């Protein structure tokens, strides 16, 4: 059995949509596959997307299974049930582990600087000449993933490939006003479930001395209402660590509103991101967490050159 899986902590819409879509593609090609995960679904997977007929499989993995890892290449985040020696493919867009997996998997390691893993999955459907056979619910999942991971095509990591893939999905389902529907549903859930939403999108990772280990992110349409809850946000983040940062991406004004736990982190971020602010740092245009991490990694390399 081919088992497709994602990170062990939480699943965002890119990992969720890509895993479902890739499973369905493999099935179309006559390959038995399951999508298996015990991780928590985060706010980017809206109720309307959870309620379609495609979801995670109820399947118990065994020693004969082979694994495909999506939206992840840092093995410290792999689910415990994954046997690294049984991994047959990795598809990711996060930096840092390209050389390791290329040495192990060769062409089956696809780690590219692209907006969304969902874009790569769309391209795989095209290569198999099966895009026109994609179910409309699967297409809508992939559209949401591309929108979320490219910040509605405003993020610096957005590529023409992301735009082309989205346009093809849009034409496939003949629906051209999905953006506001998707992001409005995301925002309502975040506002109603703030503690859970923050908790389900936090990374605990040592990237460099510039960034704190605890790094949260929220993507919303309009930041105004959320900023009224700054005291509550501080309490929630302090419950994880006394050293943290939270990247609140506001799509309406294409800006990142970055909260932090102390002035030391504030000063490091101001230098890294060339941004300013009083209680909150504001970076325009908005930056995704993966972009900030990539910038911190690049800064670390430059330091030792």
Look up tokens 């790569």; give the residue.
Answer: 120
In this structure, are residues 125 and 261 in contact, taking their beta carbons and an 8 Å threshold?
no
Question: Which whole number is the average pLDDT over 173-179?
Answer: 84
> For 192-249, what is each residue's pLDDT tens digit?
999 999 998 898 988 788 999 999 999 988 999 899 999 999 999 999 999 999 999 9
Question: Which whole number is the average pLDDT over 111-125?
Answer: 97
Q: What is the model's pLDDT at position 142?
A: 98
CB 259: neighbour CB atoms within 10 A? 21
Q: What is the model's pLDDT at position 290?
A: 85
> For 68-109, what is each residue's pLDDT tens digit?
999 999 999 999 999 999 999 999 998 889 999 999 999 999
Q: What is the model's pLDDT at position 299?
A: 81
> For 130-169, what is each residue's pLDDT tens digit?
999 999 999 999 999 999 999 899 888 899 999 999 999 9
DSSP state of 276: B
Residues 6+ apart with CB under 8 A from 76: none
Domains belonging to the chain, first-starting first, are: 2-183 (3.90.1640.10), 193-303 (3.10.310.20)
CB 1: neighbour CB atoms within 10 A? 15
Nearest to 71 by CA among 20, 26, 31: 20
Q: How confident is the model at residue 304 (pLDDT cuts 50, 70, 90)?
A: very low
Side-chain half-sphere CA neighbours of 207 within 13 A: 23
Q: Is the pLDDT of residue 129 over 60?
A: yes
**pTM score, two decimals?**
0.82
Q: Is the peptide bond before 188 cis (omega within 30 degrees of 0)?
A: no
Do the strands 214-220 and 244-250 form a parallel or antiparallel pair, or are they unpaired? parallel
Nearest to 297 by CA among 153, 33, 78, 98: 98
Q: What is the model's pLDDT at position 301?
A: 57
Q: How confident is the model at residue 277 (pLDDT cuts 50, 70, 90)?
A: confident
């Amino acid at each position: 059995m081919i088992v497709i899986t994602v990170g062990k902590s939480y699943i965002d819409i890119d990992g969720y949509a890509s895993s479902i879509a890739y499973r369905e593609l493999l099935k179309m090609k006559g390959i038995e596959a399951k999508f298996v995960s015990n991780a928590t679904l985060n706010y980017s997977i809206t109720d309307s997307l959870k309620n379609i007929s495609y979801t995670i499989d109820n399947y118990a993995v065994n020693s004969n299974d082979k694994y495909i890892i999506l939206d992840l290449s840092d093995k410290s985040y792999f689910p415990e049930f994954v046997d690294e020696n049984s991994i047959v493919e990795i598809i990711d867009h996060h930096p840092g582990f390209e050389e390791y997996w290329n040495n192990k998997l060769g062409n089956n390691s696809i780690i590219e600087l692209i907006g969304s893993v969902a874009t790569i999955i769309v391209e795989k459907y095209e290569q198999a000449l099966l895009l026109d056979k994609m179910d409309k619910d699967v297409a809508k999942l992939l559209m949401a993933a591309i929108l979320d991971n490219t910040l509605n095509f405003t993020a610096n990591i957005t590529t023409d490939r992301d735009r082309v893939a989205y346009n093809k999905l849009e034409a496939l389902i003949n629906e051209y006003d999905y953006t506001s529907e998707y992001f409005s549903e995301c925002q309502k859930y975040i506002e109603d479930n703030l503690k859970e939403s923050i908790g389900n999108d936090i990374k605990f990772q040592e990237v460099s001395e510039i960034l704190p280990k605890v790094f949260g992110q929220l993507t919303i349409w309009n930041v105004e209402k959320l900023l009224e809850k700054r005291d509550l946000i501080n309490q929630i983040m302090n419950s994880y660590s006394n050293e943290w940062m939270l990247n609140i991406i506001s799509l309406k004004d294409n800006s990142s509103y970055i909260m932090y736990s102390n002035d030391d982190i504030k000063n490091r971020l101001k230098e890294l991101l060339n941004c300013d602010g009083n209680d909150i740092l504001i970076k325009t245009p908005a930056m995704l967490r993966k972009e900030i991490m990539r910038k911190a990694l690049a800064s670390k390399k430059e330091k030792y050159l």
